[in-house]
Amino acid sequence: MNIEFLSTVAVIAPEPTASRELYVSALGLPLESQGDGYHHSEQIAGCKSFGVRPLSQAAEACFGTPRWPGAARAASQHRIRC
């Protein structure tokens, strides 16, 4: 298999501020704020779209509530599409 690029990397961040510090400050990724704690870039080599989304937004999209359901479901942490 020869993977030429990743289509999407979506990191789900329980602590958006700490995650932004890691990806932007420590790793130097060129992420731009899209509002509401979401950070995104289409300027990372080998990846068409890279985003860091707050857990509350992922919960809202999946379950219709900003709180991730109880311990019965583990919180999603990332999604990668090739």
H helices of the chain, in order, are 16-20, 55-63
State the pLDDT at residue 14.
87
Structure tokens at 7: 């289509």
Check whether 18 has a pLDDT greater than 70. yes
State the pLDDT at residue 31.
94
State the pLDDT at residue 41.
96
State the pLDDT at residue 69.
81
Check whether 20 has a pLDDT greater than 90. no
Pair 66, 3: CB distance under 8 Å:
no
Pair 67, 75: CB distance under 8 Å:
no
Tens-place pLDDT, residues 31-80: 999 888 899 999 999 999 999 999 999 889 888 999 888 755 555 565 66
